[in-house]
Structure formats: C-alpha cells, structure tokens
Amino acid sequence: PESDPNCRGQDWVRELTAVDLWKYFRRIQLQGSTDQGIVRRAILDATGPDADNPAASSVTPVSPEELTRAFASPDQGSNAIALGRDATQDGSGMLLGNPHQPWYGVGSWYQAHLTIPGEYDAMGAPLKGFPMIGIGFNRDVAWSHTVSVANRFTLFELTLNPDDPLQYEVDGEFRDIVPETVTIRVLLPDGGYEEREHTFYHWEYGLIVNPASVAAAIDPSYAALFDGWPTPRGTVYALRDANIDNLRGIEMWINVGKSRNIRELRDAFKVIGNPLFHTLAADRNGEAFYGEISAIPNITTEKMTECVTGINALARTLTNNAIVILDGNRSECQWGVDEDAPEDSGLFGFSSLPSFLTTEYAANSNDSYWLSNTDMPLEGFPTSMGFIGHEGQQQNLRTQINHAMVAERLAGTDGFDASPGFTLASLQRLMYANRVWGAELVLDDVLTLCGDLEEENTDARRACDVLVDWDRLAEVDSRGTQVFTEFWKALSAGGSEFENAITDQSLWRVDFDPEQPLTTPSGLDLEAEGVAVRVTAALAVAVKALDEAGVPLDRPWGEVQVLPKNGVDIPIHGGSGSMGVFGAISSGLSEGGYRTIRSGNSYIQTVTFDESECPVADAIITTSQSIDPDSPHYADQSELYSRKAWVRMPYCADEIDAARIGEPVEISE
C-alpha cells in the first residue's frame, strides 16, 4: 500500500507466491533452533576439512548477550492464565493471553478476524506475514502461547574416517558427509551485484557445524576443544533440528481456530506441529488446558546419561542443559521413536509430553511445565522438556508473581473484588497491576541497609532517598521505578546466563528450597560476607547510570519510559521482566530515559463467555495497528494502553456492523 513506509517502491518487492509463504512459515518454525544467530554462525563456521581450508579455526566468539537472548531472555517471553469454571465467579472459562513479542518488524503482531463462512471463524492476532490466527479466540474457545525453553535441537559428535574426512562412523560403518555449494547474488553499494558462494556439509539428519564460537563465549579456553575439522579428538559436530521438516503447524493452527471445545483444541496439537510454545486455553464450558505439546527431541533421561559423555557432558553442565551433544557413533544414541509421534521425526509424541485438563487454573511465564498448576505439578519428565525452571529448579520472578496473583484472586485477598474468583474486570486488573516482585522480595532489606550507610556513600544514599518513598510499582506515576530497575540490573550482574532469577544463593537470607519454589529465595542476607557491599555498590551504579543518561531519579515513570509517536511521548507502564514485573517491557536505558522499547506487552487479550453466542473479548495491541504515521490508527491503541484501557473485539456480525469505520473492500483475482 501507498502508506507502507518500509517496502513501498523498493526494488526488492515482488509478487508473493505460495512458496514464499511456506518458506517464511518454515523460518518462523526454526526461530528456536536453526534460525538463532548462534546456530547460524556455527553452521557457517563449518568450512570443511582443515587440509582444504587452513583458516577453518578462525571463529569469532558469540557475545554473552547473544547467548542470553538465545536461551533465556526474561523480557522476551510471555504470560498466560487459563481459568476453568472453579476459578471464575460465573462458572465460565476465561483466558488472559500476554505474549511479550517484538514491537516492530518480523515477530510483531497485527490484529485480525479471519472468517471462511461455515468453515473457520477466529479472531485475535497473527504474526506479521501470517494469514492465520496465532493467539486468539473463536465462538467457544480462547487460547494463548508462551515461549518454551525446551530443547529444539541437539548436536552429535561424529568420529571421522582417518582416511577420508568426509566420512563418519556409525556402528562400525562409514557414512558420507555430502557437500552442497550454494551461490547467491549480493547487492553492492554501487547498485551492482556480485555472486558469492558457500559450501554447506550434510550428514544424514542435517548439517555439520562448528560450535567453537559458542564454546568461546562460555570460556575462551574451551574453544579449541570443539574447533577444527577434525577436532583434537578426530571428530566433527553435527546438528539435528526438531523443526527442520515441521510444516505441520499450518494444519495445527487451522484446527485450533476451528475447535469447538477444549478437547478438540487439545487434539489439534497431537500432530506435534507446535514449534516452541506452551499452550494455555479455556472454553465456554469452563474447562481449561495446559500443554507443552511441541516439537522436542526424543531424548529420555536414560539416554541423556548414557550418550552424553566426556567433554560433551561438560558442555551440557556449563549451559544448564541448553546445549546437548550426543554420541553420534552409536545409532542407539539417536533420537527415540514414539508411536504417536510424526513418522521418522525422532520427536516425543503427545502421550509422552506434559499436559492436563482442569476446571481450576493453569498459568505459565516461560519456566518449564513443572508448576503450571501449583496443586498438581507435572513431574518425571526429562530436562530436554524445559532446561530453565525444570523440576526442582528455581523459578523466574514472573512465574512467582503470576502464581502469587492468581492465588490472591482465588482467595479474594488482592483488593480487586471482595468475592473470591475471577471476573473479566479482575483479570484485567491483574494484568495491569504492575507490581515489582523483586522489590517485594528485597526492598525492605535494602532500606534497612540505607539507614546504616556512611556519609561518603553519596550516590547510594541518593538512591535510598528516592526508594524510601517509591510505591514499588511500575505505574506511569510511580517515582523511583528507574532507580530500582538499574539497581536490580546491577545486583543481577554476574548471575547465570541461563536462568531468569538471581541464582547466587549467597545473596539470600532464605535460600531456594525446591519444596517452596514460588516463595524462595527471599530476603537479602545483609550479614553475609560481601552482601552489604554488593547492595551498596548496586545502588551507586544505578544512580551513576541514570545521571549519565540525564534521567532525574524521582521523575514519574511515565515520563521516563515512553513510546515516541509523531512527536508525542506516550507514557508506557510496565517494566523489566527480570525484576519481576508481570507486564514485562524490554527497553534499555539511553539518553533521556527508556525511549526505545524492543519488546514486551504486545497483543494482550482477555476473553470469557456468557449466555450469548458471542465471546466476550477485550484486547489491546500496544504498538497500535497501523505502521503508517499518517493513519489515525498509528498511535490510538498505544494511548489506550497507556491509560489501561481496552478495546472490545467485535466478533459477531451485528458487533462488526456496529464497529465498522469504513466500507468493505472486496478482493478478487
């Protein structure tokens, strides 16, 4: 369209074909695996046998930031709550969907209502470029997704034939590694083109990789152990991706949109087309569903123990099970076979994956399946189904506050409503509560420390003067949220790259207890060696960072965290998920404040059902629907979000007629 500021008139724009759409869908399916930057780099670093390429060992380490983004970014995830009849006041099902997707470009949402009369009628949000509803609702069912951190790929170490570096050994026999040279045209700055080529190397399940750059990011001394063709052990590494041939998601999401109750929705996932999401859903009948029904390599706990050995066991330990490297010399160490899994996929089938139906509730905030309902934990599953927040592991702060807020609402103790149980209004208040769980855990102790600070701790004392009056929220009128944000960032520095909560138990007065995973750790142990010094230093670092950015410490949060649109700074409530804000907003500090929001609260929906045939759905898209600065819909929903307002979604025909703001456009060939 004429209004598109990014694509209109560009010489690379051409007519879209069906093949383009399938290619794009396939790439989206690979976003948790082959399409991650660190995996692509490992593929490109595999440049063939060393004798043919003496420079093969020159790899560039990935940065710690890339590593964190790949495996455990606390702000780029999601929250979801599915409520059954026993958790709502009127006995209907109810759902909150709160994905934390990018705000711009690929991966961002747009709102849509897709109807094929008599066949399909779903409303909600697809990712840009998709023609189907990803998170949404229909007449009887509502669903949402949160990003899962289960393994989506594994590596295999292959022993090479000493007489032929393009062969590897399996069960005493040699198999071929097949080169494939790809040529592309590259646009040059002068407008001309040149051809470039790269050779990729295939084994029977995928591509050969060089993981040395990832190893170097963990510890530079490890890089040489994984580098080279062959490595010092006469081996190479190979990648197998759980989603490389997964185009089943098209069928799956179509059937999700057509489902008439929660059990039909659950059955839609049995094709294992879901690439990397937890699913939470509720229906008109008051039944709710949770499932980690997605593409996960079939690696049992026993196989993990028997087939991950030597230096590869160290890699698994150092990455908290994120990178699993199996013995490629034994066919018994290949992915397993489930009868109800897709043929030849090597994936877990539906019956092996964690899920439940309930009339109570399910909640997830990107930890594993384990505590999706605190009263019925899912246990006995391998770490490959969720290496972050796995059974018995510390839970991230959004998981903790999610369950805490649900428990308070079910007990009627949150102040939203005197009656226990959820209404649509109280679910919306929960979504916009903007509590900072990290502050609820530690701020009292920080303020105790503040009372004992020496005069020379000038910056730390300035932070204390603001935090003592802060409301411990991330509201637009909160004063001090920026101080705690930078304090928490500094306090967290040096923690594990692979977990979302602070895992350094030396900080805490009450250490993490697997028997109390949602309330521990807690309290700062100010008497422990170095803790008071570390907290004081973090306060000072926060003040220095804000001073350097020119941000007053007590300026209202809505003047500090903003979305600039057409010369207007729209106040944005919510805050960093890493410090335990349920409504996560990912925005780095720069000159003047947090003015460049990358991701976080994006498309949000609250859905329930009443006696009518129409679902009752309120939603918001924080970035607004249009990308055209001249459109009246370029900033309208952003301003509504700023005021904690919602848009009633017109689903039924009479609602659509009442809401229509223009004439229908008929598209034909």
Measured in degrees and rounded to the nearest 5, phi and psi for residue 56 equal -60, -25
- What is the C-alpha to C-alpha distance for residues 159 and 161, in angstroms, rounded to an integer? 7
- Helix (H) or strand (E) segment spanning residue 279: strand 277-283
Catalytic site includes residue 78: yes
Asked if 538 and 490 count as a contact pair (C-beta separation under 8 A), the reply is yes
Instruction: Please give the DSSP secondary-structure letter assigned to residue 54.
Output: G
H helix intervals, 271-392: 301-307, 311-318
3-class SS shares of the chain: helix, strand, coil, % to 5: 30, 25, 45
Amino acid at 602: S
Q: Whose CA is closest to 582, among 559, 604, 553, 552?
A: 604
The answer to whether the CB of 483 falls within 8 A of the CB of 542 is yes
CB atoms within 10 A of CB 461: 17
What letter does residue 56 receive in the DSSP assignment?
G
Q: Is 126 helix (H, G, I), strand (E, B) or coil?
A: coil
- In angstroms, the Cα distances linking 409 to 413, 440, 491, 513, 618 are 6, 18, 31, 25, 20
d(CA 326, CA 382): 15
> Which of 329, 332, 335, 336 has the alpha carbon at shortest distance from 170?
329
288, 351 contact by CB (below 8 A): no
d(CA 458, CA 444) in angstroms, rounded, equals: 20
Do 391 and 360 form a contact (C-beta atoms < 8 A)? no
Burial of 86 (0-12, 13-18, 19+ CB in 10 A): middle
Helix axis angle for 18-29 and 249-258, nearest 10°, is 90
91: left (phi over 0), alpha (psi -120 to 50) or beta: left
Ramachandran category for residue 593: left, alpha or beta (phi over 0 → left; psi -120 to 50 → alpha): left
Beta bridge partners of 563: 570
CB of 163 within 8 A of CB of 631? Answer: no
Distances (CA, A) of 607 to 89, 113, 285, 406, 651: 14, 15, 13, 16, 12
Cis, peptide link before residue 521, omega less than 30° from 0: yes
CB 582 within 8 A of CB 401: yes
Tokens, residue 142: 């509502």
Q: What is the rounded CA–CA span in Å between residue 396 and residue 388?
A: 9
Asked if 435 contacts 472 with a C-beta cutoff of 8 angstroms, the reply is: yes
Q: Is the peptide bond before 354 cis (omega within 30 degrees of 0)?
A: no
Rounded CA-CA distance 444/347 in Å is 48
Q: Catalytic: which of 33, 78, 384, 642?
A: 78
Residues classed as catalytic:
78
